[in-house]
A and B are shown apart, each in its own frame.
Chain A
Amino acid sequence: MIEVDGVSVSLDDIEILDGVSLSVESGEFVGLVGPNGAGKTTLLRTINGALAPDSGSVRVDGDRMTTLSSKAGSRRVATVPQDTSVRFAFSVEDVVAMGRTPHRDRFGGTDDTADHVDRALDRTETASLRDRRISTLSGGERQRVFVARALAQDAPALVLDEPTASLDINHATETLSLIRDLVDDDRAVLGAIHDLEAAGRFCDRLVMLTDGQIVGAGTPEDVLTTDALATTFDIDSVVTANPVTGTPAVTPLATTVQGSRQVHVLGGGSVGARVLACLAGAGHEVSAGPLAAGDTALSVAESLDIPVETVSPLTEPDGATLEATRERIAEADVTVLADLTLTQSGAHLDLATQASGLVVVEDRPLTERNHADQQCGRRYERLLEQATRASVETVATTVETAPLEPVRHVSRREI
């Protein structure tokens, strides 16, 4: 439906788009991602005919947009603008009716505006707002109204420029689900979406644009990779599968440290995952385990190429695993206990006593994490006395400066 072929656009002698080609078929939702200034808005404006390309062509439904009048063009492509702030006191119904402009005959003729407006309002669940003034609506409501306007426009192609930019998570999800529904009506939809996770979740395909060029295209899983994000957004990140939706979840990482250390992380779960991501992102040499299959921390470790020992869920690590882990801890400068869960065997505690420097990150109170007996709890507390405490946010810097004192062995007999 939308075919962009080798489009280059310069504005004020600055090349914004450089040989961009992409296509969007009917019934497909393609997300346009990329950093600010990549040329996403310019590309959308070229597609809806507001800009003429310097070279290359944009065809919608077979016709070149530059050869079509504004009216004919807007019957093919409907646009949901980025900025939906309206200073004027038009009613919601008036705004949606404006979507019928390209189908309107200046001097009367048959008028089916009312039908289309009713349908668009129903579809976007904005019928209850129809007599409200657009300027009194919330951002989320206004966005729906503008989607309704685009629906009333009744065009086979729809382009959206950051439809969720000013929305909270609830309204952003609502809006994108709505757009997802419209795609299933056989529309071709192209949307610039800054929220990578949302783009990965709702779009069939993603196109990644950087400096006016397409640097990646394909399924969200193919496009949203740690490497691609590092080159396009210049950021270290972790891409994992979102446990709920199964689509890529992108986590940018923050601080980097000067003195990189070798670190082993004991403990998993969400705290373990965050600790792993922060340490690796900050530049430490990280190893992990033993972690059970299905643990969030394990998928983070795998996506970051962190060496890790694994065990089957709900089993105690076997001898070989323990031995391998013990070696890693021996090699490491620092061992981090990440909200460690104490198991019946006390194997993790035995491992921890091998550490040559100990940092502890805790989230839940010990009683919730202690699946063993009180004795184990006391052993853990003795270890704690020799450890440096940190939070997830500070763990990378704490590891950098933690004193390297071999942990004094705390035997069962001592307690």
Chain B
Amino acid sequence: MHAWRRSAGWSAALATILVLVTVVSAAIGPVRIPPTEVVKAVLNALILPTGVETTAQGVGPLTLSGVNLAYGSPFAFPVDRVHQQIVVGVRLPRILMAALVGFALAAAGTVMQGFFRNPMADPSIIGVSSGAAVGAVAAIVFVVALPLPLMAFAGALLAAFAVYAIATQNGETPVATLLLAGVAIQTFLGAVISFLLVRSGESLREAMLWLMGHLDNSTWAEVEVTLPLAILTVGVLYAYAHDLNVLLLGEADAHALGIEVERTKRLLLALASVVTAAAVAVAGVIGFVGLIVPHVMRLLVGPDHRILLPTSALAGASFLVAADTLARSGAAEIPVGIVTAAVGAPFFLYLLRRREVHTV
């Protein structure tokens, strides 16, 4: 099918752009590092399985031979040790985190816009971001034993589940009800956040910064948790790209074409919420990525989710890496959420005036 070929072509091109943006971003900073050295530093840090070794395991007569993979770095380019540390230890986790968050938000935004057949839908439409914000601000204001991202993640899923439960009657979840319940819950959680902020005292500044979205202090540990989660959920969403296309025709039509409408909706909603929650939990509320990136990609590749979903995700990754690079390369670092909105909104308005961006 040519849809798959187109999908592969576009994805390859956008993946290449992502690699280029990553390299350029890693080169930029207080210490300028030539791109070639960045590439070498990254390659040096690569760890690949290089061989298989067997070890004897167990005790007594029950000795089993275990098989372990041996890891090693195949590259050893000569790179300045400080530069190596800056690229791999400092810049790369942040860049990867930006890429993952952008990837996740743009993918979730694409799914939500298709799901709601509404151009205003974004990943947080069913209250995920507001829930995460309540969790995070609560963790900041009251000192809680649980780590902040976990609180945010839990808050996000709780909010999404509440919206879903409220909007569901007799096993059916009308999209319009879901949308309105989402708006209501977001408003309510907004009030909770404001209340918490008023009571926050000393920690107000920290809470505000979290709310604006941030990628500084990203660690490899966060990347290691987020990466598989994002890839896995978006992967499953991709398997449902065709169903999402059919759902665009309307639910009655989708049912007549053999889609289990309610089950598919539930699954799409759950996966999009999980992937959004994962992104928001680590990076705070970064607006606009999930709204405009899918629109821009739709203009370029059309409405077919088999192409739109992977390309949006990859474009979202590049966009957020670029935006975060901008955010950290000024005289004083600013929250990346400000950059995405400040850059994204005018660009979107330009598209709106120039071309037709009023349909999904």
Range for the number of chain A residues in contact with chain B = 35 or more
A90 and B303 in contact (CB under 8 A), knowing A45-B252, A50-B252, A107-B239?
Answer: yes
- A residues in contact with B333, CB < 8 Å: none
Least CB separation from B251: chain A residue = A50
Known: A113-B1, A114-B1. A88 touches B248 (CB 8 A): yes
B219 at the A/B interface (Cβ < 8 Å)? Answer: no
Decide: A81 near B252, CB < 8 A? Known: A88-B360, A94-B245.
yes
Could you tell me the distance between the alpha carbons of A102 and B243 in the complex, rounded to whole angstroms?
Answer: 11
In the assembled complex, which residues on chain B have CB atoms less than 8 Å from the CB atom of A77? Answer: 256
A101 and B258 contact, Cβ closer than 8 Å, known pairs A50-B252, A81-B252 = yes
Count A-B contacts at CB 8 Å. Answer: 75
Which residues of chain A have a CB within 8 Å of any CB of chain B?
Answer: 45, 48-50, 69-75, 77-79, 81, 83, 86-91, 94-95, 97-99, 101-102, 104, 106-107, 111, 113-114, 153
Q: How far is the CB of A27 from chain B (nearest CB, A)?
A: 22
Contact call A49/B303, Cβ cutoff below 8 A: no
A74-B256 in contact (CB<8A) = yes
Cβ contacts under 8 Å, A45 to chain B: 252
Interface size class of B (residues with CB under 8 A): 20 to 34
Whether B245 and A49, one on each chain, are in contact in the complex, defined by CB atoms closer than 8 angstroms, is: no
Chain B residues, Cβ within 8 Å of A153: 257
From the candidates A91, A102, A111, name the one contacting B258 in the complex (CB within 8 A). Answer: A102
| Cross-chain pairs A/B with CB under 8 angstroms, 20 sampled | A48-B255, A48-B256, A50-B256, A70-B259, A71-B260, A78-B256, A81-B250, A87-B117, A88-B248, A89-B359, A90-B304, A94-B3, A98-B246, A99-B257, A101-B242, A101-B246, A101-B257, A101-B259, A113-B1, A153-B257
Once A70-B259, A88-B360, A107-B239 are accepted as A-B contacts, the answer to whether A98 and B245 lie under 8 Å apart by CB is yes
CB of B256 within 8 A of CB of A81, answer: yes
List the A side residues contacting B243 at CB < 8 Å.
Answer: 101
Within 8 Å by CB of B255, from A49, A89, A99, A113, lies: A49
* CB atoms of A88 and B256 under 8 A apart: no
CB distance from A6 to the nearest CB of B (A): 24
5 additional contacts, CB 8 Å, given A70-B260, A95-B249, A97-B1? A88-B359, A90-B304, A98-B246, A111-B1, A113-B1
Interchain CB contact under 8 A, A74 and B258: yes
Q: Are B253 and A81 in touch, CB under 8 angstroms?
A: yes
Of chain B, the residue at the smallest CB distance from A102 is: B258
Are A79 and B359 interface neighbours, CB within 8 A?
A: no
Residues of A within 8 A of B245 (CB): 90, 94, 98
* Residue B72 at the chain A interface, CB threshold 8 Å: no
Shortest distance in angstroms between B116's beta carbon and chain A's nearest beta carbon? 13
